[in-house]
Amino acid sequence: MREDLFRREMLDARKQRWLGSIRLPVSSMGWPMAALAGLALIAAIALLGWGHYTRSERAVGLLMPSGGLLALAAPASGTLLRSHVSEGQAVVRGQTLLEISSELDSPTLRAGIGQTVGAELAAQRQRLRAERDALERGREREAAQLRQRIDTAQARIGLAETQLRLRDQQAKQAQALAERVRPLRGDKLLSEVQWQQYETDRIDAQTRVQDARRERLDAARELAEAQAALQQWPEQWAQRRDRIERELADIAQDDARNEGRRRIAVLAPRAGRVSALAGSEGQTVAAGQRLLTLLPEAAPLQAELWLPDRAIGLIAPGTPVALRLAAFPYQTHGLQRGRVAQIARGALSPEEIRARTGLSVAEPSWRVLVDLDRQSVGRHPLRAQMRVEADLRLERRRLYEFALAPLAMGDAKAESR
C-alpha cells in the first residue's frame, strides 16, 4: 500500500543507490577557455563594429607630360634619308627633324624618275624665265616702235594731203583745159587724136586724185591701228607676262609635288624635346610608322591610367592613388602617391588603347589622369612613358555594413517591387 504512494520510477532509483552517484569531471582549463571564448566574441563584435573594409581597383598606365606627348609618324613610305636631330635635343616649331626619300629608279633612265622629271621642269622654268626677261627688255622697245609707227602714219597723212591738193589742182586744170579746147573740136580745128590726148590727161589727173585720197585713207587707217596698238599694248604685255607667270607657277607646283614625292621633310609641329628616336639613316620606313616623340619642355609628369567600367563610377577628382613603377620596384623604393586629377567622359576600346599607348587591356576602359606627389624617386627623376601600375581606393565601409549589404540590397529590391 505504501508503495502505491510513490512513483515506480522513484522506487527503482532508490533500489540502485548502492551503485553510487554520477559525477561529470570538470577540467582545470574550463574557466580560462570560457573567458578566452568570451574575449574572442567581444573582439569579433568590436571588429564588426569598428573595423573597415577598403575596396580598391588595379589599373595600368604610363607616365605622361601634363601637356601630352606628340608622336610623329612617317607621312609616306620611303627611305630615311637624313636625321637632323638627336635623342634629347630641344627643337623649335617648324624645325626640320627628318628627311624621307621616296625616289623610284627606272632601268631606262640614268637617274631616278623624280630626278629626271625635276631636270625637265628646271629646263622648262629656264626657258620661261628667258622669255619673261626678253619680254621685259622688249617692253619699251615695242612701245617705241608703235610710237614711231604713229609718227610715220601721221607724216604719211600730211604728205598724202599735200599730194591730194596738188593732184586736185592738176585735175581741175586738166578739166578746164579740156573745156576750153572742146569748141575747137567742133570747128575741126582740133583733131580727134589731139582731143583724145586732152581727155586722157583729164582722166589721168582725176585718177591721181583718187590715188592720193586712197593713200591718205591708208595712212589714216595705219595711224588708227598704231594708236589702238599703243593703247592696248600695256594690257597685251600684262597678259603675256601673266601667261608666263602662270606657267611658271604650274611648273613650281609640279616641281613641289615631284620634290614632295622624292624628298619629304618631317617638321616639328611645336617646340619640345626629342624622345624615342626610332630608325637610322638608310632605313626603310612605312607610312604611319612612328619616327620619334616630342615631349613638351618643363611639363610635370602625370600618370595616365586606364580603368574599366566597374570602377569608374566610384572615383572622383581627389581620389588617392598608390603607384608602383616598373623602373623602381616598390619593394626597394616604396610606393609613389598621387591623386586623381581628371576623368575622361568616354571609354576607349582595347584596340584604340593599344594603338594609342601600346598597352594591352582586356575590356573598354576610361582614361584617368593622376597628379603625382613627387616628380622623382629619391635622386632619380621620373621619365615620360615609364610603365606604372596603380591601386585606386574606390570605397571604404565598416565590416558590419559590408556583411549586411546583401540584406540591404534584398530589402531595396523588395521595396522597388
Q: Which residues, other chains included, contact 293 with Cβ-Cβ below 8 Å and sequence gap of 6+?
A: 69, 70, 71, 72, 274, 275, 276, 385
- Is 2.40.50.70 the CATH number for 49-67+299-417? no
pLDDT one-digit tens code per residue, 2-21: 555 556 666 666 665 555 56
d(CA 99, CA 79) in angstroms, rounded, equals: 9
Backbone angles phi, psi at 368, to 5 degrees: -125, 125
Predicted model pTM: 0.50
Location of C-alpha cell 620661261: 128
Location of C-alpha cell 622669255: 131
Which of 256-270, 332-346, 369-383 is predicted with the least confidence, judged by mean pLDDT?
256-270
CB 373 within 8 A of CB 337: yes
Architecture of domain 113-263: Orthogonal Bundle (1.10)
d(CA 168, CA 174) in angstroms, rounded, equals: 10
> Which H, E and C letters describe 46-89, residue by residue?
HHHHHCEEEEEEEEEEEEEECCCCEEEECCCCEEEEEECCCCCC
d(CA 360, CA 60) in angstroms, rounded, equals: 9
Domain boundaries, given as residue ranges, for the chain: 49-67+299-417, 69-95+268-298, 113-263
Taking CA atoms, 325 is separated from 205, 303, 329, in Å, by 120, 10, 6
pLDDT one-digit tens code per residue, 132-191: 887 777 677 777 777 787 888 788 777 877 777 777 777 777 777 777 767 766 666 666
Residue 1 predicted with pLDDT over 50 = no
Architecture of domain 69-95+268-298: Beta Barrel (2.40)
